[in-house]
Amino acid sequence: MRCLSYSHPVALTKLNHALAGIYIWETLFTAGFELDVLKGKRPYRWTIWIYLGTRYITLLAFIISFIDMDGPKLPCKPFVVTYFALPYASWAFASLIIVLRVIAIWNRNIFVSLIAVGSWLGGLGLNLRSTSNSKVESSYNPILETCITLKTHRGLLNAIGVLVVDVVLLMTMLIGLLRYAHRSSTGIWYLLYQQVI
């Protein structure tokens, strides 16, 4: 969870605060988009809830990290499980957006849809396995004054699996976009622009 040496806890805390500040600023700065959708000024699509899940679960993960670094000390085991589960949930929502985009780009081709959904479900299963109670070990470190994760090598399979899932999804999307660009005179960028507006 925290990979800097014990002599630099202040640097790690400052880095985490800086990154969280950038994310919070970006979230507040672009909140007008979702407010416009919810007010009816922009067209409503049900996928807005997946998008909002990605954004606000990530925000919640940063808030939990603030509690760890700056707030009252909590029991380590449930805290660390939560600390891992929130980013994994955010990954699941973000990858689901890519899965839906892959399905749309490939015009709901059943074979491609099964690959995309199957890959996503595999990554979701790895994340659930990684956050299970038996896999996460942690303890309080009085030098850093925070909970640290022990035996992090157990998450290696999860990290590799999630990387493979993301590569499969992104390559499938790229191949679909290249196929579209080859058949269309409008090009890839027009397709992407049309999907955003």
DSSP reduced 3-state for 22: helix
Joined tokens for residue 139: 């303890």
User: Does a structural domain hold residue 18?
Assistant: yes
Q: Region 28-53: what's the mean pLDDT? A: 87
Which residue range forms the structural domain that includes residue 91? 9-196
Residue 22 confidence (pLDDT) above 70: yes
Q: How many domains does the chain have?
A: 1
The rounded percent of the chain whose pLDDT value lies above 90 is 19
Establish if 1 belongs to a structural domain: no
Summarised one tens digit per residue, pLDDT across range 57-76 is: 988 988 887 776 666 566 77
Determine the angle formed by the axes of helices 76-105 and 156-183, rounding to 10 degrees.
20
150 within domain boundaries: yes
- CA 144 – CA 156 distance, rounded (Å): 24
pTM of the model: 0.77
CATH code for position 150: 1.20.1070
- The sign of the CA dihedral 133, 90, 73, 158 is positive
Residue 24 lies in a domain: yes
Within a domain: residue 123?
yes
Instruction: Tell whether 4 is covered by a domain.
Output: no
Residue 39 falls inside a structural domain: yes
| Residue pLDDT, tens place only, 92-140 | 999 999 999 899 888 899 999 999 999 999 989 888 887 775 566 777 7
The answer to whether position 160 is within a domain reads yes
